[in-house]
Structure 1
Amino acid sequence: MVSEAIYPGPDPKIFQQVREWRALYETLTEGKGKPLNHWEITALLEIYGLRDIDAHEQYGFNDLFEFAKMLVVFIDDYKYEVKTYELEAPPSKVKRIIVNYFEGMAFALPMLLQVFFTLVIGYGLWSSLDLDVRTATAIAMGTFAALVATGGPAQAIGRKGLFYIKMEEYNLAYKITRKLFKIFFIQAFIIGLLMILFNLFFEYIPGTMLLYMVVYYFLLAFLFTSFAVFYMMELYGSIALYVLLGVVLVYLLHVFFHFGIIVSQVASLVITNIVVFVDAFRRVKKLTDKSREKEGDAEPRLSLLFYSLNPYMMYGTFYFMFLVTDRILAWSAIPLQPYFIWFNVRDELGLDWALIVLILLIGMSEVIIYEFMYRVNDDIIAHRYDEADKFNSSYRRFFLKYNIVFFVASFFVILFVYYGIYLLAKYTDWEFLDIFFIAPTPWIFAFAAVSYAFLSNALTNILFFFSYSRYKAVLKGIMAGLIVNVVVGLILSRLMGYEYAVIGLLAGSIVFWMFVVFFGNRFFKNLDYYYYSAY
């Protein structure tokens, strides 16, 4: 240990400075081993976030280099503990593909449960095929509004919270998640009030429909925002469990206690909301138990926070607008209907069954992104600086190969879902299966299934871009796809019939996919650059 007596002067302030320098030096070198010289200490100071002006104003040195030369005296006096990690032997390729596929499926499992129960028993946690058309329309409008209103916030909470968790900044993860949740819930509440005020002025739907729409909107907006916390913590199984329990509660209230389906769903949603919210923030609060003494907790300015999250919020909003556009266009295309939008069972059934194709393909996304991440970090180290073209070419082949495999798999998944429905209809007596084979539902299913194959492939590709903070092409693609979806669907549904709105979904999905694949080719062609310039 360096004796404080070597520093001249009896002033105790000097001794205090030495203690501060030592504390800073310990922080700089914690888990990093013994520095070689003052150049390495300078680099550690810069990594820590200090600048020359900080060295001058806070510590009294001209610049970081001079400060580092001072800190050199501590090199031999400190006991270094370098963090070591025991790496587990990687699982076999077949095993990890199977595991990652089902982990990817877990991400989409809540949607699968909702769709499955709606199609099989006629209702789920927030949907029902056995309601009168007026009520079903109102609930569907509330659901669409909740998805669009919370799509962006869910992306923001998930991305920023997960970022701090991965960085082991648990205090910040807790604080930022709590702040974003409050802000976005207030935002969703304001959107709900605007919907009510808009109806008061223009009376586009009667009071009973407005009541159903608003109640389901608020309950689902709160639920989806709470679910974002679980997505942030990668607890997909918990979300699926809560959806399942919610559906079971609806079933019990409706079948055993003979409540109406609306009362059963509202009661179940209220209880589910309370339980999910409490559990979500219990888990987030527990993150602070992992916080370290030297962990920072200075929150970023709100303006900078939203500036960094804005692209992901826009993407989430546009994505859910894209998903509901064809339904809105189809349901508003039938002439002489009572209101501007009117629930259509045949259209909804075709689209819901096609969603199973999307859900089954999402599991492949997890496999592909994991295989990419599993290889890229080791491969980039294994290649010399003058072998960049060789490195990039190998991943362009990877990009091409997995896209071909994805679409071949999509073909078989679509056939699997269609013939699965056929066999269920043939050997069971579920009432909603017979409706599937009444035109134009099979036709809608076919176009929607192909659309979701293109969409799921695009969603897989954008995971690469988001992993390296490249979002501009994704935003351009989803915006272009949304515009094409609206224009093509609007024209065809008005000129040829409501069932042709699904062609807008197909055209929009292909345009989105083309944008993503075009950028993907450029991305993998210059992967070395995007890798090193990611952050």
Structure 2
Amino acid sequence: MENHFTNIKSLIEKTKDKIGKPVSSEVVEATIESLGIREKDTKDDFGFNSIKDLAELVFYELTTDKYYIGAKNEKEIEVERTQPKIIQLKDYLRVKTQIFFQYYSLGIFHLLPVLIQIAAIVVFGYSLWTFVGFNEIQSTAVVLGVVIGLVSTGGFVQVIGKQASFYWNYEDYRMTNKTINYLHKVGMLSIFFVLTTIFLVNFFFHIYPYEILFVVFAYAFLVGMLLLMLAPLHTIKQRWVITFSIFLGTAVAIYLKETTPLLIFVTHWIGIAVAIIIAKLFLVAYFWRLTKNKKSISGNNIKVPVLLYHNYQYFFYGIFIYVFIFIDRILAWSSGIDKNLPFLVYFEKNYELGMDLAILVFLLLAGVLEYSIASFTRFIDIGQKITDHKTPEVFNNQLRKMYWQQVLLLFVTSAFAFVLIYYIINASWGFEGQFNQTLVQLSIKVCVIGGIGYVLLAWGMLNSLYLFTLGQAKKPLKAIIYACLLNIFLGFILSRFFAYEYSVVGMLFGAALFVALTLKANINYFKNLDYYYYAAY
């Protein structure tokens, strides 16, 4: 009898773990049979004549005993453990405030590598790939190398963020590592392909001397590889390594510049290589520790056709974002309207100073973008849990309202950024005080127009991030392509027939078009957000 009682208690626990609270005794009967218990075993093991009688007892205990009321099966318990906590509507403001301070400060903190570069330029007149002592030919080679490196790898960076995050979120660390290594390899081959193509074009048309081309290629390869190595650190939430590697690489480069007779180019290359090696060694060690005793959940091979199918839109979006950012510079530097250019694209200092100041606006908006997408992904899941299925418009309206609050925050932050730039231009401690140079009106004009353009670009990227969250990548891709075309067309006309600095107007109107198209997509997106959320998962 005592053995029967123990077996029955054990059976009740097993049934509870498998199905939670049962809806009928027939379900319990089927569960008992699935556990391998046979009709002929019930008398000896449990003291019942049949499985049906045993099932009725188990059903009664699970539905009436206070200990089992509200019982959940193993899967329900796991979902409850891993899913975000449901938050009441009255707690929204408090939670939003917490998320804002967490992610906005995180986004600003991750500007530390940029701040390190700015500090190095102010103190030493030198950073990881810039030097205030470069002449225009040297600056042309360096900037072209940086542009080619960023554009060549921008698509792979976007795919790393998308595909590696997929495996990372499912804790499939082996496939995360394999994906990162595969994209690193393909990204490196892509850089070689781009450089080979440029070399062949230059071979036939003699656009640049080979000495300049060598410098361009060295910077392009190293900057591209650096971008590839740093990209996974965002995905695996180890962004401190980005700051560390950039800091150490910059420190090594500055030390070599100050203490050795090496060329500035060489000190740059060594510094960038140090940053690349640090990031790669960390990734190898980190994933070795993470995967040494674990098997892959999704298989051991990367399915290239599947990878391409799921990520090609993100890949091209990543490329066109970088293309958009540099179009106005290339058009301005190749205008020749005010002077004869020695090369097809030739660096122009005053224009670049204006755009360097303008891009500070974009960088300072990083915290807003970080906060916006974090709060959206958090509250979209919470919202669908607390919203009645009969009123999906409530769910949609709540998220739409949150979106416009974030747009407002974007513009408030932009206003503070413009105030900062005003002081950089006019204060005694600003640009003139640090570099003993006065910004010409052309630079200030480019800075103002470019700064507004970067605010609009950030807004368009915010819209795109919302659309990406639920797998709607086609519309942002089309929007950035159209924006690039308008940027090229308008910038070309204005820089060739009016003044070269007006190529920045093409960037401004291109960014405005990007916002308009992605905003239209977002408005439709929020009208049917419940549908898109359901379709994505």
| TM-score interval (norm. to shorter) | 0.7 to 0.9
Query: Structure 1 residues 294 and 38, CA, compared in 2 at 3 Å: closer, same or farther?
Result: farther
Match of 1:73 among 23, 34, 44: 34
Task: Return the letter of the residue paired with 2:353.
Answer: L
- Of the structure 1 ranges 276-285 and 318-327, higher mean CA displacement relative to structure 2 is found in 276-285
Q: Distance in 1 between matches of 2:500 and 2:478?
A: 28
Q: Is the counterpart of residue 251 in structure 1 residue 254 in structure 2?
A: yes
Structure 2 residue matching 1:386: 3-state secondary structure = coil
The equivalent position to 1:390 in structure 2, one of 382, 391, 394, is 394
Question: 205-214 or 110-119: which moved more?
Answer: 110-119
110-119 or 437-446: bigger deviation: 110-119
In terms of mean alpha carbon deviation, does 162-171 or 103-112 score higher?
103-112
With over 3 angstroms needed to count, the CA separation of the structure-2 counterparts of 1:121 and 1:338, relative to structure 1, is: same
Distance 1:403 1:152 in 2: 26
Distance 1:383 1:256, change over 3 A: same
Report if aligned partners of 2:149, 2:221 keep a CA contact under 8 Å in 1: yes
Match 1:310 to one of 300, 312, 328? 312
Deviation readout 1:305-353 (Å, 9 max, x if unpaired): 1111111110000010011111101111123110111111111111111
Equivalent residues of 1:154, 1:224 under 8 A apart = yes
Q: Distance in 1 between matches of 2:461 and 2:32?
A: 49
Label 1:71 to 1:190 Cα distance change in 2 as closer, same or farther (>3 A): farther
- Which of 6, 16, 19 lines up with 1:35 in the alignment? 19
Q: Distance in 2 between matches of 1:511 and 1:426?
A: 33
Q: Distance in 1 between matches of 2:33 and 2:155?
A: 49
Q: Matched residue of 1:384: which SS?
A: coil
Aligned positions of 1:186-225 closer than 5 A:
186-225=189-228
Unaligned runs of 5+ in 1: 1-29, 41-68
Taking the TM superposition and a 5 Å limit, the aligned residue runs for 1:68-467 are: 73-74=34-35, 82-83=77-78, 85=81, 93-115=96-118, 117-118=120-121, 121-289=124-292, 291=294, 295-334=297-336, 335-425=339-429, 429-431=433-435, 434-435=437-438, 437-467=439-469
Q: Give the superposition deviation at 1:469.
A: 0.7
86-95 or 240-249, which deviates more: 86-95
- In structure 2, the residue corresponding to 1:277 is in which secondary structure? helix
Distance 2:302 2:396 in 1: 36
- Which amino acid is 1:466 matched to? F
Alignment of 1:512-531 (within 5 A): 512-531=514-533
Q: 1:114 to 1:121 in 2, by over 3 A?
A: same
> For the Cα contact (< 8 Å) 1:129–1:345, is it kept in 2?
no
Letter in 1 for 2:323: M
Q: Which protein shows a greater Rg?
A: 2
Partner of 1:3: none
- The aligned residue for residue 11 of structure 1 is none
**Mapped partners of 2:316, 2:296: distance in 1:** 35
Using the TM superposition, name which of 174-183 and 516-525 deviates more: 174-183
* Alpha-carbon distance in 2 for matches of 1:344, 1:275: 34
SS at match of 1:131: coil
The amino acid across from 2:303 in the alignment is R
Q: Distance in 1 between matches of 2:123 and 2:490?
A: 32
Could you tell me which residue of structure 2 aligns to residue 4 of structure 1? none
> What code does the residue aligned with 1:85 have?
R
Cα distance in 2 for partners of 1:294, 1:325 equals 42
What SS does structure 1 have at the residue aligned with 2:365? Answer: helix
The answer (yes or no) to whether the contact 1:170–1:290 under 8 Å persists in 2 is: no
CA distance in 2, matches of 1:498, 1:122: 27
Q: Give 1:282 shift.
A: 2.3
- Asked if the contact 2:153–2:190 (Cα under 8 Å) also holds between the matched residues in 1, the reply is no
Q: Which residue of 2 aligns with 1:59?
A: none
Q: How far apart are the structure 2 equivalents of 1:394 and 1:225?
A: 37
Structure 2 unaligned segments of length 5 or more: list them. Answer: 1-13, 25-29, 39-71
Residues 298, 134 of structure 1: alpha-carbon distance in 2 compared, 3 angstrom cutoff: same
How far apart are 1:394 and its partner, in Å?
Answer: 2.5
CA contact (8 A) 2:360 2:417 kept: no
Aligned residues: CA RMSD: 3.0
Q: Structure 1 residues 34 and 450, CA, compared in 2 at 3 Å: closer, same or farther? A: same
Of the three residues 486, 507, 532, the one matched with 2:488 is: 486
Measured after TM superposition, the shift of residue 233 of structure 1 is 1.6
Q: CA deviation at 1:138?
A: 0.9
In 2 relative to 1, CA 386–420 (structure 1 residues): closer, same or farther, beyond 3 Å? same
- Secondary structure at 1:342's aligned position in 2? coil
User: What TM-score, normalized to structure 1?
Assistant: 0.82
Deviation at 1:128, TM superposition (A): 2.3
Q: Distance in 2 between matches of 1:177 and 1:272?
A: 18
Q: Is the 8 A contact 2:425 2:432 kept in 1?
A: no
Instruction: Give how far 1:191 is off.
Output: 1.7
Residue aligning to 2:60? none
Q: Tell me if the contact between 2:490 and 2:506 (Cα under 8 Å) persists in the aligned partners.
A: yes
- Structure 1's 199 and 276: CA in aligned 2 closer, same or farther, altered over 3 A? same
- Checking the alignment, whether the CA contact within 8 Å between 2:117 and 2:128 is kept in structure 1 is yes
CA-to-aligned-CA distance 1:412-434 (integer Å, 9 cap, x gap): 321222224422546973116x3
Give the letter aligned to residue 419 of structure 1. Y
- Partner amino acid, structure 2, of 1:127: T
1:498 aligns with 2:500: yes
**Contact in 1 for aligned 2:486/2:510 (Cα 8 Å):** yes
The alignment partner of 1:429 has SS state of helix
AA matched with 2:490: V
The code of the aligned residue for 1:73 comes to S
Q: CA 1:294–1:117 in structure 2 vs 1: closer, same or farther (change >3 Å)?
A: closer
Question: Would you say the 8 A contact 2:19–2:73 is kept in 1?
Answer: no
Alpha-carbon shift at residue 134 of structure 1 (Å): 0.9
